[in-house]
Amino acid sequence: MKAPNITYIRPCSLTEACHILAEHDDEAVPLAGGQSLLAALNLRLAAPKLLVDIGELQELRDSSFGSGDIRLGALTRHHELLDSDEVRRALPLLPRAAAFIGHAGIRNRGTLGGSLAFADPAAELPACAVALGATISIAGPGGARELAAADFFTGLMETALRPGELIAAVRFPAATQGTRYVIDELSRRHGDFAVAGLVIAAPMDGKRVGEARIVYFGCVDRAQVARQVSTALSGRELTQSTVEAVIDAVGEDLAPDDTPGWRAETKLRLARTLTRRALAQLTGAAA
Amino acid sequence: MSVAESGHEFIDVEVIVNGRTVRSRVRARQHLADFLRQELELTGTHLGCEHGVCGACTVLIDGRTARGCLTLAAQAHGKRIETVEGLSGQGAFARLQDAFIGLNAAQCGFCTSGMLLTAYELVSEKVPRTRNEIRDYLSGNMCRCTGYHAIIDAVASVLAEVAPA
């Protein structure tokens, strides 16, 4: 199908974009890469009255690579996460995550800020942002503010963004030596939405695990740290009994729903299998 | 700003399509593939699913593949767009076309333009690729004749020439 009738505006600045969005509140939607939004419009799953095209705003493109603090502009495209040597060095998890997203043509257009603001529970980047302890830089009609990624995702496709607010950038602490980053997911075909996926960020000292953060996607309603699973792993030697304790905790953190083609029980089983595989990678050779 | 401006149903765009500057007034809701097909009569860009899954509408925007159905014509303002018509018969694209014909990778032809554009982006990197890597790169383009093996043969044969392992 094709998108319903709609109006369009291309503001010249971030400030103007925020004002327009605030003014039109429920009726306006920001358009960045459009890889989820335009599909939703074509399928008539969404019917906003006004598209506010922020896709060319230079203010949302600026990225900087400080020694410990990496700032990626909201319009950073998925293919840039895959292709950038700077990103690969400072945030090795992100190119691995981007490789799971859609296909080449989608990755060329889709954006980091768009993925976070859309807050699809099956998306990889929200889970990465939470696992890495990222901070979301938000621009709005009332000025700028920052929010921890852990507090940003408030529900199923819901975020803490207020009317008129946009993600301007995402700040990540640079990867530290000795911390292992793992991402894995299961989907019917590569590029499809994940049925179950997880991200682990775990400081490792030999077999001893430091304060680990595990975030699931696909089998949850939002990106958030899986508390019980993370606790079962943190501060332990990675022995067989730790692995079993972590696997046992999966059911405490996750309560997936039945969805067409996938029973909740199946998703939970897949999440446990993925967790087991990911734990094996923590002590493996890869960083 | 007192009252923020509201949107427009029609937008003036200036787009460079296959090297030619095109000025047009487009509807906000019109996607790039429809703009190319209906306004410019460039019907080599095909429309299958219209929600970003099949890849038949693949075009190049500023040199990179994109879904024509997931980009509005209005978003193409100021961009360089290349379609199968513009690239046809030149350089690596022509070699891909020859390989598709020679190895029977075209079949019904519906997915072919999208396949060619995605393959062209991969081949242009001039990096040797395994069959699995080619398969992965083309995985966003569907062939309902299911002639995938022949398509991968064709892309592999061109890659072997431009980027010998």
Q: What are the structural domain ranges in chain B? A: 10-86, 88-162
Q: What is the pLDDT of residue A50?
A: 97
Residue A131, CB-side half-sphere exposure with 13 Å CA sphere? 32
pLDDT in tens, A186-240: 998 888 889 999 999 999 999 999 999 999 999 999 999 999 999 999 999 999 9
Rounded CA separation A143/A160 (Å): 15
Q: Could you count the other beta carbons within 10 Å of the beta carbon of residue A210?
A: 15
CB of B129 less than 8 A from some CB of A: no
Rounded CA separation A61/A59 (Å): 6
Domain B10-86 in CATH: superfamily?
A: Beta-grasp domain (3.10.20.30)
Alpha-carbon distances, residue A154 vs A8, A74, A165, B66, B111 (angstroms): 28, 19, 15, 31, 41
Q: What is the pLDDT of residue A286?
A: 46
Rounded CA separation B83/B31 (Å): 15
Test B66 with A109 for CB contact under 8 angstroms.
Answer: yes
ipTM: 0.95
Residues of A with CB under 8 A from a CB of B: 1-10, 16, 19-20, 22-24, 28, 31, 34-35, 38-39, 41-43, 49-53, 55-56, 79, 102-106, 108-109, 189-191
pLDDT in tens, A86-136: 999 999 999 999 999 999 999 999 999 999 999 999 999 999 999 999 999
pLDDT in tens, A36-65: 999 999 999 999 999 999 999 999 999 999
Chain B residues in contact with A7 by the CB 8 A cut-off are 6-9, 28
- Walk me through the domains of chain A, giving residue ranges and CATH numbers: 7-51 (3.30.43), 59-173 (3.30.465.10), 179-282 (3.30.390.50)
Most B CBs within 10 Å: which of A51, A78, A109, A188, as the mutation test of the B interface?
Answer: A109
Backbone angles phi, psi at A161, to 5 degrees: -65, 130
| Burial of B49: CB neighbours in 10 Å, binned 0-12, 13-18, 19+ | middle
Backbone angles phi, psi at A171, to 5 degrees: -105, 130
Q: What is the mean pLDDT of residues B31-54?
A: 97
Domains B10-86 and B88-162 agree in fold? no
Amino acid identity of residue A133, one-letter, is: G
Query: How would CATH label the architecture of B88-162?
Result: Orthogonal Bundle (1.10)
Test B67 with A4 for CB contact under 8 angstroms.
Answer: no
Q: What is the mean pLDDT of residues A261-282?
A: 96
Query: What percent of chain A has pLDDT above 90?
Result: 93
pLDDT in tens, B58-72: 999 999 999 999 999
Mean pLDDT of chain B: 95
In this prediction, residue B5 has a pLDDT band, given cuts at 50, 70 and 90, of low
